[in-house]
C-alpha cells in the first residue's frame, strides 16, 4: 500500500484503517471495491454539514438564500477545486482507460473523490469528526460567500467576475432556433476574452439559454481561478 501520510496531513484526519482511505480513492474504473457507495453517503453528509454551517453563519438568511449558497458550495466545480488544493489527483486510483484519458484531472472524478472521502471519514469516525473536517475545508469559502451574491442571476455574476479581472463583458449569440412556435429550443453561444473561451447552451427561451451559457462559463472560469 502506498504512503498516504502527506495526504492525511492535508486532510487533517488520520485514518485508522487505510483500506478505507484507499477505497475512497478508487474510481469505479479500477475495480469492484470502489468509491461509489462512499460517494453516495458523502454527498448526503456534505449537504447536511454545509446546511448546518450556513444556518449558523447567516441566521437572518431566508431558506431560498441558504439553498442557493449551499448549491454554490457543494457543486462539482467547487469540489473539484477543493480536490486540486488537496492534491487528490496524485492519489486517485483509476483503470487504464481513465488513466490514459487524464481522469485524475477531470472535474467529475475529482469531485466524486471529495464526497467519497467525506463518506469514508463519516463511516470510520462518525458525524462529529467529519463535521470538523468539512468545516475546516470549507471555512474560507463560507466566509467569502454572501446571501445577496447567491440571489444574483448567472449573467450578472459572470459580468461582475469579468469586470473584477479587467476583462470586457461577454458576448451572447443566438446560434440556433428550432421547433414549433409553441415548443421552440434556443441555442446560445457565450464568448469571453478571458482565455478566448466559448460555450453553448440550449433552453426553451433565449433568456434562459443565455443564463445557462453564462453559468457554464462562470463554472469554467471560477474552476480555473
> In this structure, what C-alpha cell is assigned to residue 115?
464526497
Q: Which of 22, 107, 115, 219 is catalytic?
A: 115
The neighbour count for residue 126, using CB atoms within 10 Å, is: 10
CA distance 177 to 203: 10
Q: Which of these is catalytic: 22, 43, 65, 107? A: 43
**Helix-then-strand count for the chain, H and E:** 11, 3
Asked about 112 being catalytic, the answer comes back as no
The edge-to-edge listing of strands for the beta sheet with 185-191 is: 171-178, 185-191, 198-203
Residue whose C-alpha is closest to residue 154's, from 77, 42, 60, 44: 77
**43 counts as catalytic:** yes
Gyration radius of the chain over CA positions: 20
Which residues form the catalytic set? 43, 115
Amino acid at each position: 500500500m502506498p504512503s498516504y501520510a502527506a495526504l492525511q496531513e492535508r486532510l487533517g484526519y488520520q485514518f485508522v484503517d487505510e483500506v478505507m482511505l484507499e477505497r475512497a480513492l478508487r474510481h469505479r474504473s479500477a475495480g469492484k471495491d470502489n468509491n461509489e457507495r462512499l460517494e453516495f453517503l458523502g454527498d448526503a453528509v456534505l449537504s447536511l454539514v454545509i446546511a448546518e454551517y450556513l444556518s449558523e453563519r447567516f441566521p437572518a438568511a431566508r431558506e431560498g438564500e441558504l439553498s442557493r449558497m449551499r448549491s454554490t458550495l457543494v457543486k462539482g466545480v467547487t469540489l473539484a477545486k477543493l480536490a486540486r488544493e488537496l492534491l487528490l489527483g496524485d492519489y486517485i486510483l483509476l483503470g487504464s482507460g481513465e488513466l490514459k484519458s487524464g481522469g485524475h484531472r477531470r472535474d467529475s472524478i475529482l469531485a466524486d473523490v471529495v464526497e467519497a472521502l467525506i463518506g469514508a471519514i463519516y463511516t470510520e469516525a462518525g458525524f462529529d469528526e467529519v463535521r470538523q473536517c468539512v468545516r475546516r475545508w470549507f471555512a474560507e469559502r463560507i466566509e467569502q460567500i454572501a446571501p445577496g451574491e447567491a440571489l444574483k442571476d448567472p449573467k450578472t455574476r459572470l459580468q461582475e467576475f469579468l469586470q473584477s479581472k479587467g476583462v470586457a463583458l461577454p458576448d451572447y449569440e443566438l446560434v440556433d432556433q428550432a421547433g414549433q412556435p409553441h415548443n421552440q429550443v434556443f441555442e446560445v453561444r457565450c464568448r469571453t476574452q478571458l482565455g478566448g473561451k466559448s460555450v453553448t447552451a440550449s433552453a426553451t427561451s433565449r433568456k434562459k439559454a443565455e443564463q445557462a451559457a453564462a453559468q457554464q462559463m462562470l463554472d469554467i472560469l471560477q474552476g480555473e481561478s
